[in-house]
Amino acid sequence: MIIKCTVAYDGYNYAGWQKQENALGIQTIVEEALEKIQKSPVEIVASGRTDAHVHALGQVFHFQSEIAMQPWQYVKAMNALLPQDIRIQSAEIAPEDFHARFSCKSKQYAYIATYDVTDPFAYRYKAPLYQKLDMEKMLEAASYLIGEHDFTSFSSSRIDARKPKIKNVRLIEIRNKGKDVHFLFEGNGFLRYQVRMMTGTLIEVGKQRIQPLDVQQMLLEKNKEVCRYNAPPQGLYLMKVRY
């Protein structure tokens, strides 16, 4: 059986989702738990990776079940073995052709920044703001990023040059919530660092250090060197993966 799982995690203590040789990735921990359950090595495939200190409420992965266990039993068994900051939310039997990455239709990310810089609990989960942001200018700038574009300017320099850079950003919302500013992004996919770089750029607009039209120009240039803004990772959350 192909088992599809949804997992939530606090990413602050980890070097990202992907397993790595010299650092601890969340994938490694989940695979080790499944190996104990199935008594043999298990490889899981996620919808995509999240970077160090980035969180998830709705990351999705799949694996091949080699034993006679029902999905609900996998949830119970994995959560008994996983640390408290990694929690399986649900599991289900998926169609044979399901693939957590390639079957994905869209992803939704949230980003949280806060004016409450004296909150000692916020540093793990929000990005600090030290001046008031201009909401109108940020919304104007965000309008240039919505739609299907080549997002080369808002991507990591480490991305394979052969990888397609065209993505469709369907939604960007920016709202004040108490002492926080919440950003919401949804698209058919995102390049590495794209959400954080878009957020960092929008915050610079909100600080009036750059103008909304500067964001449009960055996009049009399709050049990794024109955007140097990258919001801190701890404010980013993978909220939902749609299939």
The rounded distance, in Å, linking the Cα atoms of 88 and 30 is 9
DSSP state at residue 12: G
Residue-wise burial string across 219-233, b where 16 or more C-beta atoms lie within 10 A, e elsewhere: beeeebeebebebbb
The rounded distance, in Å, linking the Cα atoms of 196 and 123 is 16
82, 30 Cβ separation under 8 angstroms: yes
- Say what the alpha-carbon torsion angle 176, 190, 232, 207 is, to the nearest 10 degrees: -50
Residues with catalytic annotation?
51
Other beta carbons less than 10 A from residue 40's beta carbon = 9
Compute and round to an integer the Cα radius of gyration of the chain: 19
The rounded distance, in Å, linking the Cα atoms of 158 and 218 is 19
Residue 235 main-chain phi, psi, to 5 deg:
-85, -5
Other beta carbons less than 10 A from residue 126's beta carbon = 23
- What amino acid is encoded at 189 in this protein? G
Asked if residue 237 belongs to a known ligand binding site, the reply is no
| Binding-site annotation, residues for substrate | 109
